[in-house]
Structure 1
Amino acid sequence: MSYQLSAVIADAGRLREETRELDHAVVGELRQDFALLPVTPQLVQELTGTPPDYLVEEPGPEHPFTLALSPTLTEVLARWSRHGPLAYVEAEFAGGAGHQAAAVWLGGALAWGPRFDAAFDGPRPQWPINAALSELGVEPGRWIDPFAELGLHVERSTEGWLAHGRRGLSADYWDELADEWETRQ
């Protein structure tokens, strides 16, 4: 099974406020009052005025993101972080192999990262997305790690998160469907 994600994660209210005037912004609800903004080519074009640029080679520690974070795009992320932290995250997996990367902006500047991992041989809390989410203030809970705690496992792709946000679903909707199914049985 594959997984692909390119998104900004931040406080839900602040993310909605920052994106309310954007035509291509779709905010997906996560747990703990966080939200996810899927980063699509259309959104990048709207934010920067230029088409997105993607790496030709595989991402790695030197160039952790598939999406080249242009100076204009990083200025937008920095501006949005003036009132609280936000993370840009990417993940891509297929057949068990893959990578993830994350960076956090706070107070108008890059505050953490970017970090990249394709080996995942360290503790789960040190994996890039988990570590970035901890930087954002995600609290531990009943799920295995911050990634699952927020519900990032609910959708399997950026396109899935677009549909999730457009339908106004919460990150708990799969749990709610399972509970409803069990009640009917």
Structure 2
Amino acid sequence: MSYQLSAIVADADLLREETRELDHAVLAELRQDFALLPVTPQLVQELTGTPPDYAIDEPDPEHPFTLVLSPALTGVLARWAQRGPLAYVEAEFAGGAGHQAAAVWMGGALTWGPRFDATFDGPRPDWPINAALVELGAEPGQWIDPFAELGLHVERSTDGWLAHGRRGLSADYWDELVEDRQ
């Protein structure tokens, strides 16, 4: 089973305010008043005025993201982060192998990361996306880690999150379906 994600995660109100006039922004509701903004080529073009650039080589600790975070894009993230913390997260897995990376902006600047992991031999809280979500203020709960607690496991791809957001579903959607069937 594969998983692929390229997204911005932040307080839902912050993302709603910053994206309200964008044509290519689709917000997906997460738990704990967070939202996820799938990062698509169309969104990057709308935010920066130029098409996105992607790394040719596989991500690694020195170049953790597939999407090249241009100065124009990081400028947008820094501007948004003046209103509250936000994270850019990427993950890609297939057949149990893969990687994830994350970075956090607060107060208008990159303050954490980017961090990258492809081995996942350390504790779950130290995995890049989990650690970034804690930096944003995610609280522990009934789920195994912040990734699941906020609901990032609900969809398997950036496209899935686009559909999720367009349908106005919550991160609890699948749990509610299971409860209804029981």
Could you say whether these structures have the same fold, taking a TM-score greater than 0.5 normalized by the shorter chain as the test?
yes
Q: Percent identity?
A: 84
CA shift for structure 1 position 43: 0.2
Instruction: Give, in angstroms, the shift of residue 181 of structure 1.
Output: 0.3
Matched, 1:85 2:88: no
Compute the RMSD of aligned alpha carbons.
Answer: 0.3
Give the corresponding residue for 1:63: 63
Letter in 2 for 1:137: G
- How far off its partner does 1:83 sit? 1.3
Q: CA deviation at 1:179?
A: 0.4
Q: Which runs of 4+ in 1 moved over 6 A?
A: none
Tell whether 2:33 aligns with 1:33: yes
**Who is 1:162 aligned against?**
162
Aligned to 1:128: 128
Any stretches of 5+ residues in structure 1 without a counterpart?
A: none
Q: Is 1:149 matched with 2:146? A: no
CA offsets 1:24-78 (integer angstroms, 9 cap, x no match): 0000000000000000000000000000000000000000000000000000000
Q: C-alpha deviations, 1:122-155, integer Å up to 9, x for none?
A: 0000000000000000000000000000000000
Q: What is the count of residue pairs matched by the alignment?
A: 182
Aligned counterparts of 1:60 and 1:169: Cα–Cα separation in 2: 34
What's 2:46 paired with? 46
Distance in structure 2 (CA, Å) of the matches to 1:8 and 1:117 = 18
- State the one-letter code of the partner of 1:144: I
